[in-house]
Amino acid sequence: MPDSSRIIKTGILAYGMSGKIFHAPFIDKHHGFELYAVTERNTKKAQKDYPCLISYNSIDELLDDDAVELVVVNTPNCVHYEHVKAALQKGKHVLVEKPFVANTKQAKELFKLADEQGKEIFVYQNRRWDSDYQSVKEVIESGKLGKLNEVHIRYDRYKNAIGTQAFKELPVEASGLQYNLGPHVLDQVISLFGKPESYRKVLGKNRKGTQVDDYFFVQMSYSNSLNVTVTASLLVPNPQPAFILHGSEGSYVKQRADVQEEQLSIGIKPGDAGYGIEPTEKQGVLTVIDEEGRKTESTVPSKPGNYLSLFDAVYQTLVFKKPYPITRDAVLTQLEILES
């Protein structure tokens, strides 16, 4: 019988922005996890936030702790493969940041190893639980747009300077903007529409001195003449709506409005008042047209975003064997596009 009171001791391999903002608060909040250990090779900060956890000096030390059941791999993209493999070989379940790995060959090898070890791999696609994406999903499922013909998802930023994180800015494995923001927007498309029948990708290098792509465009074709485009750029001074959908009976336009990352960065945690609630002025705009050609425009409130749902999905799989929503097929489809 599954034990709903089971507590899963969890270790995080790094306590930088990812560990501090996107993982630790949720592991600490969820009743089924214990934030047990982190790795901090240099400055020790985690115990100031969570006094009871263990701060190891190396990844090997954390992986050698038999009490750790689940490991969060949130190290640089280029070492995801080796760290996931090492964790599996030590008998751990793994929650790994996007991008999972650099290519489908590595992914298939790790999935095979996980099966041989009887362990689970969970890919961390938290943007499925953004308030703005949840709004888009709800509008599509409502059928109010009719037959979809065009969907455009974009992720705009303005960062003209070359960043200091080498794994993002140097031409190493799984670097550049397509491996940074691409997994977010591609996963959202794949979760909505599945694997495209065909696709076309364009990369660009626009910042002075850049060694990696800082722009990408992917156009994906689906059956029934649905065309989906994803775009991301680091040189957009005036960000455009993140989601634009057109169908036979309506359109939906939605800004990127999720507030979780911003809130978490200033210490607002899941469960706090106002957590995940986006500003009302960023509500999506739904335009529908009736048989007489009359248009009606309305705003669509979004449900609060909450990344805790991802961690609950991990718990549900580990304890109750429920399917994890980010499937292996979805991950492999994403990587096929990224590595092409």
Architecture of domain 127-305: 2-Layer Sandwich (3.30)
Q: What is the pLDDT of residues 142-198, one digit of tens each?
A: 999 999 999 999 999 999 999 888 778 999 999 999 999 999 999 999 999 999 999
Which one, of 10, 124, 27, lies nearest residue 65 by Cα?
Answer: 10
With beta carbons less than 8 A apart as the criterion, state whether 132 and 254 touch.
yes
Q: Which residues contact 8 (CB under 8 A, 6 or more apart)?
A: 32, 33, 34, 69, 70, 315, 318, 319
The pair of structure tokens assigned to 195 is 């694997």
pLDDT at 2 exceeding the cut of 90 = no
Which one, of 54, 75, 58, lies nearest residue 10 by Cα?
Answer: 54
Same fold, 8-124+309-339 and 127-305: no
Return the CATH superfamily for domain 8-124+309-339. Answer: NAD(P)-binding Rossmann-like Domain (3.40.50.720)
Domain boundaries, the chain: 8-124+309-339, 127-305
CA angle at residue 88 from 190 to 77, to 5 degrees? 50
CB atoms within 10 A of CB 280: 10
DSSP β-bridge partners for residue 227: 150, 221
pLDDT at 1 exceeding the cut of 90 = no
The pair of structure tokens assigned to 213 is 């792509």
Q: What is the pLDDT of residues 188-230, one digit of tens each?
A: 999 999 999 999 999 999 999 999 999 999 999 999 999 999 9
